[in-house]
Chain A
Amino acid sequence: MSTRFGSLGNLMKKQDLILNAVCLLFATGFVVMALSNVRWAGNFFSIDSLFFTLVSLLLAGIFMVIPLLWAHENGVLKNLFAAEGDDVPAEPVPVHFAGTTKLFLAILGLLLVLTVVEVLLAYIQVPLVLMLTILVGLSLIKAALILAYFMHLRYERMSLVYTLIPMLVICICLLFIFFPDGFRQLGLRVYR
């Protein structure tokens, strides 16, 4: 009756996948541990080392049982690539995607021009502080272009912009408070 429940139904499958992934991860981890032991143990044929290898492999084997059983039951590979003729899941919200190829090409062009300008600055050897200022400014413009057009933020609700951007901007601005301390360090250093 709803994709939400439908998706919960799919999630049961996903749950299997997750369980298997977790088991595989652990199994791989233990195999890696055993292998690393072989590589770095020094004397491999010591009691410690053999015990460690044995326990690791045993644990890896135990963790492999669940994925193997599952793969046996389901024929995983057959399932993975079956693409044709499947039900396409419905969109949660109606699709709307504004912007034309021309617009995106224009944005790409603008980004390329700005990049070239940045590189040119490096070529003509602008003093560092001025360079930094211009570079940060240009990068912000580029970031804004990517956000607005490529990431489509310009066509989303303004409320989304108001939600996301201020928290990011505030936090990043706050990080700048580190710098007074950074400059202070310069005067503190005894060892050069």
Chain B
Amino acid sequence: MSTHAHAAEPLVADDWSGGTFPYHIGHRKLGMWLFIVSDALTFSALLIGYSYVRVSSDAWPAPFAFYPSIIFSTVMTLCLLASSFTMVMAVSASARRDRRRARRWIGATMLGGLTFLALHIYEWLHLINDYGLKPFSLPAEWLARWPQASPLFGATFFAITGLHMFHVLTGVIYLGYIALRIRRKTHEDVEISGLYWHFVDLVWMFVFPMIYLLSVDFHPPGH
């Protein structure tokens, strides 16, 4: 067999001539990249849909006071950013074959993700219970302040952040699975889970300004 394996050698001249990985990455990593592209488009469609209903509304409520809402969501953002950093450290450790440390860094990442989730759920409950925001209607006092405001505020808020939370939750579970079985996982597996986690972080980099920072209450009633 090996006697005529030379035959194809002149043919395999570069990355694209077959028999090799053109991007020098394995199947699963390429698959994850493609999934990320696709999922990014889902989020883009949602964010564009949100922008669409916002520009076509007469008024849009701006209910987030700088303190505490924006500070709170900034802390959430920092959680995610920090967890992205720990994830990259996990991948780095796994590249050095240091599985023990990789597992610890992944644990830290999951902690960041869980903190984010907890804070976010707290935020949701706060909005639902204390303000009375619903997916289909605005609280009465908001309507009093912004009489023409679109009821879609709650809808877009819950839909977009909800989908993002779902992704974070999936990510935490996914990372947990990787951490649990890290001895059986290749570096590539860790790296792929990292890609997914960074993507979740990346999406939040758009959700946070679009949803929160563009709805800052400049003149909260208390002041």
A–B: direct contact at CB < 8 Å: yes
- When A and B form their complex, what is the total count of cross-chain residue pairs whose Cβ atoms lie within 8 Å? 172
Instruction: State A125–B206 Cα separation when bound (angstroms).
Output: 19
Does any Cβ of A come within 8 Å of B181's Cβ?
yes
Q: Is B218's CB within 8 Å of the partner chain A?
A: yes
B15 pairs with A104, CB closer than 8 A: no
Q: Which of B49-78 contact A (CB under 8 A)?
A: 49, 51-53, 55-58, 66, 70, 74, 77-78
Do B22 and A159 touch (CB < 8 A)?
Answer: yes
**Quick check: is A108 within 8 A (CB to CB) of the other chain?**
yes
Q: Which residues of A contact B127 (CB under 8 A)?
A: none
Q: What is the CA–CA distance of A184 and B27 in the complex, to the nearest angstrom?
A: 45
Q: Please report the C-alpha to C-alpha distance between residue A136 and residue B77 in the assembled complex, in whole angstroms.
A: 16
Assuming the A-B contacts A90-B186, A92-B27, A101-B89, are A146 and B58 also in contact, with contact meaning beta carbons closer than 8 angstroms in the complex?
no
* Segment from B36-44, B117-125, B131-139, B162-170 that makes contact with A: B36-44
Interface flag for A73 (CB, 8 Å): no
Which A residues from 138 to 189 make CB contacts under 8 A with B?
138-139, 142-143, 146-147, 149-152, 156-157, 159-160, 163-164, 167-168, 171-172, 175-176, 178-179, 181-186, 189
B213: contacting residue among A119, A146, A192, CB under 8 A: A119
Query: Chain B interface mostly helix, strand, loop or mixed?
Result: helix
Within the assembled complex, what's the spacing in Å between the Cα atoms of A65 and B53?
Answer: 49
Among A84, A111, A132, A179, the most chain B Cβ lie within 10 Å of the Cβ of A111
CB distance from A164 to the nearest CB of B (A): 6
Contact B87 A92 (CB under 8 A): no
Give Cα A142 to B55, complex, Å: 25
Q: Quick one: which of A83, A92, A123 contacts B183, CB cutoff 8 A?
A: A83
Instruction: Point out the residues of chain B lying under 8 angstroms from A88, CB to CB.
Output: 183-184, 186
A164 vs B23: C-alpha distance in the bound complex, in angstroms?
A: 11
Contacts of B218 in A (CB 8 A): 125
- Shortest distance from the beta carbon of B48 to any chain A beta carbon, whole Å: 4
State the CA gap A96–B208 with chains docked (Å). 33
B5-18 CB contact bits vs A (8 Å, 1 = yes)?
00000000001000
- CB <8 Å contact, B48 and A176: yes
Flag if B23 contacts A186 (CB, 8 Å). Answer: no
Q: Does A40 contact B (CB under 8 A)?
A: no
Interfacial chain A residues near B201, Cβ < 8 Å: 146, 150
Is there contact, CB below 8 Å, between A139 and B188? Answer: no
A182 touches B186 (CB 8 A): no
B residues near A76, Cβ cutoff 8 Å: none
**Structural contact, B209 and A167, CB atoms closer than 8 A:** no
Cα–Cα distance between A104 and B150 once the two chains are bound (Å): 42
- Tell me the bound Cα distance from A3 to B134 in angstroms: 52
Task: Give Cα A152–Cα B94 distance, bound, in whole angstroms.
Answer: 14
B91 touches A143 (CB 8 A): no
One of A112, A168, A178 near B78 (C-beta < 8 A) = A112
- Measured CB to CB, the nearest residue on chain B to A99 is B92
Q: How far is the CA of A84 from the CA of B100 in the complex (A)?
A: 12
Closest 7 CB pairs of A and B: A97-B95, A92-B26, A185-B56, A135-B209, A83-B183, A182-B52, A160-B23
